[in-house]
Chain A
């Protein structure tokens, strides 16, 4: 059933697949972010308690969700790389980590800029904020481990193990607002049950999530391609591609 996946273990085929997906990801990201953010910033009604400061939600919630989504993707790639020794999966770990780190930074920063006017402080050491900060350190750790080995296969193994161990942080982030007393408000949207937000505020939020998700996908695929070129610079397919690009 899953046999059709096998050829994509070959870097060359995976590279071609990335090239096919990339224009859709970039286009969808630009469209989704433009519509979602403009709608959220200018057209959605103001919050009855938080006024217009709540509009930070249109960056904060998408980036927070995707910081965890990107981590899940990276951990799955790490698992595939460790168990089945598939090189493109190792490269995907290295490609996703910096993207996830920036998205996590965005989640933390927008949270701070929202916390200052609403809670009166940029930062508190409570469970939600601290566990999200640990997520940023996990991303940075994966990047550092990958780069600190001369032998990239060794580096990928070490980084992959850290990525897998770090998965324990994901449920902690998710449930932190329920398990501990926190300043952070509860979930705005959940998979099950009615969202605790009005539909005219919800739609731009959902569109922003899709838009940022596609941007994360586009950046990850693009960086994955770069990693494939970097590690297979001397393989015939890279030579052929560059020769063709230079019209030789």
Chain B
């Protein structure tokens, strides 16, 4: 290791503020991009599930309607 102690490492030869600012903000920016990408992917699946559920509701209500009209015909 180039530095003699951990405190020397964190001090970065007097440039601690600039070095850790650069690494901190860059790391945060890249991390946010990763988190956003994963969240966007998950929300796609949620959209798909909602669409799937909607299709099922439509199919169910259509089946009910057909049954109702059949019953109505029988009564007539």
Contacts and interface: CB of A to CB of B under 8 A. Distances in A.
A46 interface: yes
A238 interface: yes
Interface in B21-47: 21-23, 25-26, 29-30, 32-34, 37, 40-41, 44-45, 47
A43 B1 contact: yes
How many residues of A sit at the interface, in one of the four size bands?
Answer: 35 or more
Nearest to A226: B41
Nearest to A238: B48
Contact of A52 (B15, B23, B33, B37): B15
B44 A230 contact: yes
Question: Max chain B CB contacts within 10 Å: which of A37, A53, A215, A222?
Answer: A53
A117 B26 CA distance: 18
B29 A42 contact: no
Contacts of B30: 102, 106, 215
A191 B15 CA distance: 31
Given A46-B13, A52-B13, A233-B51, A109 B25 contact: yes
Interface residues of B, number: 29
Contacts of A43: 1-2
Contacts of A86: none
B26 A63 contact: yes
A128 interface: no
Given A99-B33, A226-B37, A233-B48, A110 B15 contact: no
Contact of B18 (A116, A226, A229): A116
22 contacts: A41-B23, A42-B1, A42-B2, A43-B1, A43-B2, A51-B13, A56-B23, A59-B22, A102-B32, A110-B22, A113-B19, A113-B22, A113-B25, A117-B18, A219-B34, A222-B41, A226-B41, A238-B48, A242-B45, A242-B48, A245-B45, A246-B49
A233 B52 CA distance: 11
Contacts of A42: 1-3, 9
A114 B15 CA distance: 10
B19 A55 contact: yes
A17 to B, nearest CB: 17
B58 interface: no
B1 to A, nearest CB: 5
Interface in A110-139: 110, 113-114, 116-117
Given A45-B2, A222-B41, A55 B26 contact: no
B22 A233 contact: no
A114 B22 contact: yes
B12 interface: yes
